[in-house]
Amino acid sequence: MPDMPDLAALIGSRICHDLISPIGAIGNGVELLMMDGTPQSPELALIAESAGHANARIRFFRVAFGAATPDQRIARAEILSILSEATRGGRLRIDWEGGPDLARQRARLLFLLVQCLESAMPYGGRIAVSEDGEGAGLTGTAAKLRLHRPLWSALEGGPCPDDLGAAEVHFALAAAELARQGRRLALAIDEGGIRMTL
């Protein structure tokens, strides 16, 4: 029986593809209104901010949840742009160190792991990602962490919790992607932070 395609990734790509254009059009329309001399109102500012945030999250989700073939690459400049826009105005900061470009599948795994760290830092903090083409390290530091240990155990090869919710699906996807890429994750958690190496 031939291998089944990654249906979850294809669905993610389809949703992102179908939403990114209309959300971008809303942002462009707001920009045109502002350039046209329309008085800036709190309502218009809210629409612009919301459209920008939605567009940034869709771009992030496209990398994290979308399909990626072995030959696809993503430029470091695009990664930095996505992460900058996704965290603009928020309490979370993401610092990315790496080469000029990266295999899209590798970026997908790292973006999923960034989401795992983000889940543990609801009050904000700092995520640092370093990638050298061979190995990678991610560190999340925050004054306060929120951890559900079984989710983190799944990243080290343990079973995913039976009560996995939609807000936690990236843990299951990251665990599956680690297995698909033949990578093992070493995890260290203490009161002030989470460190991952792979």
How far apart (Å, rounded) are the C-alpha atoms in residues 42 and 34? Answer: 12
- Residuewise pLDDT in 10s, the chain (198 residues): 456 667 778 888 888 888 888 888 888 888 888 888 777 788 888 888 888 888 889 999 999 999 988 899 999 999 999 999 999 888 999 999 988 899 999 999 999 999 999 999 999 999 999 998 788 999 999 999 999 889 999 999 999 888 889 999 999 999 999 999 999 999 999 888 999 999
Query: In this structure, which topology does domain 73-198 adopt according to CATH?
Result: Heat Shock Protein 90 (3.30.565)
Could you tell me if 111 and 64 are in contact, meaning their C-beta atoms sit under 8 angstroms apart?
yes
How far apart (Å, rounded) are the C-alpha atoms in residues 48 and 142? Answer: 29
Show me where the domains of the chain are located.
1-67, 73-198
What per-residue string of b and e applies to 104-126 under the rule 16 or more CB within 10 Å gives b? bbbbbbbbbbbbbbbbbbeeebb
Q: What is the DSSP string of 56-116?
A: HHHHHHHHHHS---TT-EEEHHHHHHHHHHHHTTSSEEEEEE--SEEEHHHHHHHHHHHHH
The rounded Cα 148 to chain-centroid distance in angstroms is 19
Torsions phi, psi for 103 (to 5 deg):
-60, 135
